[in-house]
A and B are shown apart, each in its own frame.
Chain A
């Protein structure tokens, strides 16, 4: 295998939500402790090779953005390690998180709030590279023009403000801003979720182009399985903070092994599937405050057996699975 660009080793992120004032007073007087711990990401191990695109998929709240933010160094892991070619991407210094590298850039979901509305496009794109001395102040303007052209915008638009662009164009600007930092790794968090299909196609095509020209390495987060299938080499399926299946894209979509992956693929409405073609995953998404014991999917799983509610399955390869999978079905039965 080629050398790993990104290595995530047993990374976890817990958020402690403070109790309300009343609860704190009650606790001080001998009542129960009501601080709650959200297990947003738990023990994720994953590597991304140079030039590879790994898709991250799962239901709302399963920890995709949190993992993305840890990879970008915006959050320090609560435990475990995340490193880019051996260098940690973040550390916790006192209470402040320090981003240790500019080599990872993140593109956020919402193109309407991720750009500073009072900043001209030229400054938005050049601020980071100039600050980090990747380009000189004198060369900044040419650099901006280059970046805008690269993402398919006219260089003459660089004096404009974000509100003068459409959603798809704003997402291009956000990508240009990330690319201007000459990142080794790009984290894209739902980059097309808020866009209309016709505009979505433009942004996905841009990503495919850039990937070919620049050999981008990327983590592509989306809840849209069609989008992830289209752009990723490998896909990690997350459920309640953990990776439950990890495999190459084509075999994963052809013969998903994990019951959750199968259910997820079945619930996507398909063009041309015909009327009434629904097959829903039963039950609700459980809360990360109180993940179910054993396999977290067991309350919704049609195959759950006695072992599933007590013993947590381990992510590993089984007979004829497309990759690795965390399910007792492939490890001695339920």
Chain B
């Protein structure tokens, strides 16, 4: 896609541990356009966070990016020296974490930390920086933003802290924000306030989001596009509506069927058999094979992520709907 702000191409991030090489991210590709939200979904351990950290080049030993390219506005991030990468972080691409205290300093007032964050990237007077900070808080829907500048993080509720973290991520109007499960620990009422705000921000400011979550329902209402990860690889991707209306990968279909609201009340839920595989002991071929109801011998070879209709799927026997 030519108008992509962020494209990730065949990204590989591996962990070199005593138990062997863990291929946490193994050939992940996707792109996000201006003002669009990509939902990156998958179960615990599927490699969502490591993908996010890799984009920001925040992977530490024993982990290492061993392959692929990350293009931000067409520029290859691997070509940046550490200082240029530091300037890019925050200004061009920033991150929101599940725990807002990863972003916030508990002993500094909200205003103090926001002013410092602004001044780290632009030459500006403290008064002007304070005004920008105030406007950023108002932008994410925080009531009485002037007063909030003078409080400490512990004076705020979890939902408010997460909004402040989002406001900080937005300070330099980055082109892309990577959000790693930022609403997972919040109540549904607060979550829906934040999701509505994020949707509005993407539409108004043109910021692109990669929204990491394990919750398909969140993706369904928030994201333009979806990428489903399983054991370090994307197994299905496409426009959210198209993927969720007719999931073609047996894993996506299984995930959707196991959501209680999809089932008749009190009836047994559809269950994906077995459990998430350990990266140290992946089966040969398709990683989903031991749990897959459609597996055959050919699945002992790895399928490629290929276009099928208007979405892409990595499966030898995708679920295709027969016209009746």
Q: Are A274 and B269 in contact (CB under 8 A)?
A: no
Given the known A-B contacts A267-B192, A270-B220, A270-B261, are A196 and B271 also in contact in the complex, defined by CB atoms under 8 Å? no
Within 8 Å by CB of B222, from A59, A226, A227, A269, lies: A269
A200 at the interface (CB under 8 A from B): yes
Chain B, Cβ-Cβ closest to A227 = B260
The smallest beta-carbon distance between A51 and chain B, in angstroms, is 14
Q: Are A196 and B189 in contact (CB under 8 A)?
A: no
Q: Please, what's the 1-or-0 string for A261-290, where 1 marks a CB less than 8 Å from any CB in chain B?
A: 001101111111111111111101100000
The smallest beta-carbon distance between B145 and chain A, in angstroms, is 14
Which of B54-62, B193-201, B308-316 is the contact stretch? B193-201
Complex: A230 Cα to B44 Cα, angstroms: 24
Which bracket fits the contact residues of A? 35 or more
Interface residues of A in 163-214 (CB under 8 A from B): 166-169, 196-202, 204-205, 208-209
Given the known A-B contacts A269-B217, A275-B221, A276-B221, are A226 and B259 also in contact in the complex, defined by CB atoms under 8 Å? yes
Within 8 Å by CB of A274, from B44, B159, B221, B272, lies: B221
The smallest beta-carbon distance between B159 and chain A, in angstroms, is 7
Given the known A-B contacts A230-B265, A278-B196, are A267 and B188 also in contact in the complex, defined by CB atoms under 8 Å? yes
In the bound complex, residues from chain B placing their C-beta under 8 Å from that of A275 are 199, 220-224, 240-241
The smallest beta-carbon distance between A320 and chain B, in angstroms, is 22
Classify the secondary structure of B's interface with A. helix
Given the known A-B contacts A197-B214, A204-B260, A204-B269, are A278 and B220 also in contact in the complex, defined by CB atoms under 8 Å? no
B279 at the interface (CB under 8 A from A): no
Complex: A273 Cα to B43 Cα, angstroms: 22
Interface core residue of A59, A169, A250, A284 (most chain B CB under 10 Å)? A284
The smallest beta-carbon distance between A193 and chain B, in angstroms, is 10
Complex: A269 Cα to B222 Cα, angstroms: 9
In the bound complex, residues from chain A placing their C-beta under 8 Å from that of B240 are 275
The smallest beta-carbon distance between A98 and chain B, in angstroms, is 34
7 residue pairs bridging A and B, Cβ less than 8 Å apart: A167-B44, A263-B189, A269-B195, A269-B222, A271-B259, A275-B222, A275-B241
